[in-house]
Structure 1
Amino acid sequence: MCVSTRSRFHVSLGGVCLLVSVLCHGQVQDAALKAAFIYNFALFTNWPQSPSASSTFNVCVVHRSPMWDSLQKLNGKLIGGRPWTVRDAPSTGQKVDCDVAVLSDASQSFVPASSSATLVVRDGGISGADGAAITLVTEDDHIHFDIDTVQAQRNGLRFSSKLLALARNVL
């Protein structure tokens, strides 16, 4: 390789590395922002007054989810006096006790424990298609969300009017 070709190769390689690092940084910021949205959804959701069987506020997400690390960073923050605790959601459709279930894979589903009122949040997809009360939507590099109040009521949940006012669509 001559010096000129070698220099162009290193400049090209440097450009590719910069692009990859910017894209990865963008994905990390996206996941952190979505985790912050989910935390705030929990703050502005009213659960039934029945006493919780758990002393922790359980957030279930599949460990391989891009949001896993960002949701974990919120561990210990209080929701209704209970500490936020991220749990690995079973991928087989087993019943599990969750206050919030985050679905990040189109094929993923959630089967709540019979006594639990669960806020199901879908990351992407079509609103109202799978029982999710909130669907996160990315458009033009901005994160929006749709709320399905009918699905929320089926799960025994109500949303604050402040949260409803911020939604892109309320179904």
Structure 2
Amino acid sequence: MGRSVLRLHGRRGFFRRPWAVWVTAVLILCASPIRGAYGDHGSLREEEVKAAFVFNFLKFVEWPEDRDGRSVVILCVQATSPLVDALVALDGKEIRGRPLRVEISGRPADLLQCHAVFLGSGVPTERIAAVLEGLRGQPVLTLGDAPGFCVQGGMIGLFKEGNKMRFNINLKEARAVRVKISSKLLQLARHVIE
């Protein structure tokens, strides 16, 4: 069930593959020390690291054709998330040739129009559970950084391990709504729930 990030380095021809550049970038981010508000200036802030992970997750996800054919990729963020500023800074960047639009949204009905929803650790547990329940059956990628996010039914959950960022994937929930998560991303996950 658990997969080690380090196992990828032993694969033959790894750096010749097109996705190897992204994988290498993620590994560097995983190895980068994370600082808090008063940490050293040579390290990345935790919010910046998490936002970079979210951005790159979106590059390795495919939605069902009716949603994937849209001209923009919409990432919705709950307004209480401490990551709001870092995620809003991603607005306008490209995801597989389409611009990313980041929206701060609190109304459940608005979330149904999103490709992905980020539920930050600042969102109360009951609210996370309600949003996940409201999105059940919808092809919306759910991301979060609250403890036990994937166990609650979220699809990709970020967490700190020591001073490094890791993530788990709930593949069972993603498959149930036809959201395809790349095998390359699955190989980097700490745990995959199948």
TM-score (norm 1): 0.75
Residue 24 of structure 1: CA displacement? 9.8
Matching residue's letter, 2:174: A
Q: Are the aligned partners of 1:127 and 1:148 in contact in 2 as well (CA < 8 Å)?
A: no
Residue 120 of structure 1: CA displacement? 0.1
Q: Are the aligned partners of 2:62 and 2:68 in contact in 1 as well (CA < 8 Å)?
A: no
Matching residue's letter, 1:153: R
Structure 1 CA distance for aligned equivalents of residues 171 and 39 of structure 2: 35
Q: Are the aligned partners of 1:45 and 1:160 in contact in 2 as well (CA < 8 Å)?
A: yes
Residue 121 of structure 1: CA displacement? 0.6
User: Among the aligned pairs, what percent are the same residue?
Assistant: 31
Matching residue's letter, 1:55: S
Residue 52 of structure 1: CA displacement? 5.0
Matching residue's letter, 1:33: V
1:112 aligned onto 2:151: no
Structure 2 CA distance for aligned equivalents of residues 129 and 89 of structure 1: 24
What's the secondary structure of 1:42's corresponding residue? helix
Structure 2 CA distance for aligned equivalents of residues 157 and 51 of structure 1: 10
Structure 1 stretch displaced more, 47-56 or 60-69: 47-56
Q: 1:148 to 1:86 in 2, by over 3 A?
A: same
1:146 aligned onto 2:162: no
Larger radius of gyration: 1
Matching residue's letter, 2:100: W
1:43 aligned onto 2:66: no
Higher relative contact order (CA 8 A, sep 6+): 2
Residue 78 of structure 1: CA displacement? 1.5
Unaligned 5+ runs, structure 2 = 1-35
Structure 2 CA distance for aligned equivalents of residues 25 and 86 of structure 1: 27
Structure 1 CA distance for aligned equivalents of residues 135 and 42 of structure 2: 32
Q: 1:21 to 1:162 in 2, by over 3 A?
A: closer
Which residue in 1 is equivalent to 2:154? 132
Which residue in 2 is equivalent to 1:62? 78
Which residue in 1 is equivalent to 2:145? 123
Residue 162 of structure 1: CA displacement? 1.1
* 1:49-80 C-alpha deviation (Å, 9 max, x unpaired): 22558532111112231111111111111223
Which residue in 2 is equivalent to 1:85? 101
Count of equivalent residues? 150
* 1:107-155 C-alpha deviation (Å, 9 max, x unpaired): 23323397x5111012131143332111111121111000111011112
Matching residue's letter, 1:58: I
Q: 1:21 to 1:117 in 2, by over 3 A?
A: closer
Which residue in 1 is equivalent to 2:181? 159
